[in-house]
Amino acid sequence: MKDIPVGKPILKDDVWVIKMDGKIKAFYNRCTHLGCPLSFNGLIFVCRCHGSKFNLNGERIEGPAKRALKALKVKITPDKEVFVKI
Ligand code: FES
């Protein structure tokens, strides 16, 4: 995964990948409430089932979910390839 835009998450293979503050983060595309997939509304992640909201760091903002999104391990190769361990 090259060419990840800054501050705009990309959904690939059920993983959200985002570049912010010079770092790349990845989150599993499942809400921590009951596991529904998430949408990105241009600012935050929103659960499609019951509306929990999460910021770009995966932290819960509001809704029935009690935990942050599951962060996944990211590995970047010397030639800037990005790999995410699910
Ligand atoms: S599954 Fe996401 S808020 Fe319920």
Q: What CATH number is given to the structural domain containing 74?
A: 2.102.10.10
Is 71 a domain residue?
A: yes
Q: Yes or no: say if 26 and 39 are a contact pair by the CB < 8 Å rule.
A: no
Give 8 Cα–ligand 1 centroid separation in angstroms: 22
Q: pLDDT tens-digit profile of 10-63?
A: 999 999 999 998 899 999 999 999 999 999 999 999 999 999 999 999 999 999
Strand, helix or coil for residue 5 = coil
User: Is 62 a domain residue?
Assistant: yes
Residue 20 and residue 73: Cα distance in Å, rounded?
Answer: 15
Q: Which atom of ligand 1 is nearest to the CA of 48?
A: 2
Tokens in use for 27? 């989150």
Calculate how far, in angstroms, residue 2's C-alpha sits from the geometric centre of ligand 1: 31
- The three-state secondary structure class of 68 is coil
Kindly tell me the burial class for residue 13, based on how many C-beta atoms sit within 10 Å of its own C-beta (0-12, 13-18, 19 or more): exposed
pTM across the whole model: 0.91
Instruction: Give pLDDT, residue 2.
Output: 60
Q: Would 3 be classed as within a structural domain?
A: no
Whose Cα sits closest to atom 3 in ligand 1? 50
